[in-house]
Chains A and B, each alone.
Chain A
Amino acid sequence: MQRLHRTDIARRQLETAVELFLQGLDRSSVITLAGAASNVLDSLVRRAGKEPFVDYARRVHDHVVGGTPKRRSYAHHIDVKLGVVAHKHFAPTDPDVVELDLEKQAADALARAIADYTALYGQNEPFVKAYLQWAWGHTDGPAQMESFKSVPAKLRKTRR
């Protein structure tokens, strides 16, 4: 029998998700593991008195669309968008075939989880650095930083 802190659980799932992703292995498993890690990290970030990804996304929604969506329903909406729900829920009335962009959703699911992970533990662990370096190179980091300058000041930072 082992005693595991939720931090260890999230870290192990996220580290394996990053490893599978960077090795070009199964995207479905990346999405599921990053999704599970995110659920755990979301609570840990809130318990630390910081703002998790979901709440930051709700603030962005308020600024861009207007109105702050309810936390639970918006978290579910994000899980649907990232393909997490299609991989772990299957109700009797759900269709057997689903449309997914596994490559993009795996990368985005990792981005969400890494955002919450770094809020708690920084960017120094090798698997975090490896993902951030991949993201910088594959999502045109310099161009993103340039466009970031036009983001309103109140949305530039999460509440930490």
Chain B
Amino acid sequence: MSVGQYTRFQLAHSQLDAAIGLYVTNRDRLSAITLAGAADVLLSQLVLRTGKPNFTDRLAEKDVTSEGTVPPREVVGQKVNDTLHINQLKHFDDGAEEVIELDVDECALAAILKALANYVDLPEHDKNLVLAFKLWIRENLDPKKYNVNCDSNWTAPPEA
């Protein structure tokens, strides 16, 4: 056992890599949410340090109010984290419900994709990891429901 120096990118990469492994093997998609969520915290800040907007900023720009105001990054980030139940899996505050409802598969996929959106914006990212996950998506997800070919003209089907 010894102390070593690690960049935040290394910590984020290894957690994202593990999250993808747990997801594609269906070993534990719940834990994939937690790991992708933690990785994304680091990746989001790393993207900002390159001088570029991160994924949350790009979402916020699409959520401009009728007065032309862009919602704050923190508000949009919190909303996304709540939607994906990221905080509920790592916090259990006094008074909170003991039972929660979530679609584990959907949340895990979305949490990984959100982290990947920031990951690919960093120059040191592992292209093979991204390609492998995209290939897995193409081979395993329903093309009627998901944009499995990453087609920019693809439109989501209406919600049932």
Contacts and interface: CB of A to CB of B under 8 A. Distances in A.
B8 interface: yes
A15 B96 CA distance: 23
A96 B92 contact: no
A2 B90 contact: no
25 contacts: A1-B103, A2-B103, A4-B30, A4-B99, A4-B100, A6-B99, A9-B30, A15-B28, A26-B15, A26-B17, A26-B18, A28-B14, A32-B15, A32-B34, A36-B89, A36-B90, A43-B94, A87-B15, A89-B41, A96-B9, A97-B5, A99-B6, A100-B6, A101-B1, A102-B6
A133 interface: no
Nearest to B16: A29
B11 interface: yes
B24 interface: no
B34 A36 contact: yes
Contact of B27 (A3, A16, A98): A16
B99 A99 contact: no
Interface of A: 1-7, 9, 12-13, 15-17, 20, 25-26, 28-29, 32-33, 35-36, 39-40, 42-44, 47, 86-92, 94, 96-104
B3 A6 contact: no
Nearest to A30: B18
A94 B104 CA distance: 32
A101 B4 contact: yes
Interface in B35-56: 35, 37-38, 41-42, 44-46, 48-49
Nearest to B49: A96
B147 interface: no
Given A6-B100, A97-B7, A29 B15 contact: yes
Contact of A16 (B22, B41, B48): B22
Contacts of B100: 3-4, 6, 9
Given A12-B31, A101-B3, A35 B90 contact: yes
A87 B38 CA distance: 7
A92 B48 contact: yes
Contacts of A28: 11, 14-15, 18
B102 A2 contact: yes
A25 B17 CA distance: 11
B2 interface: yes
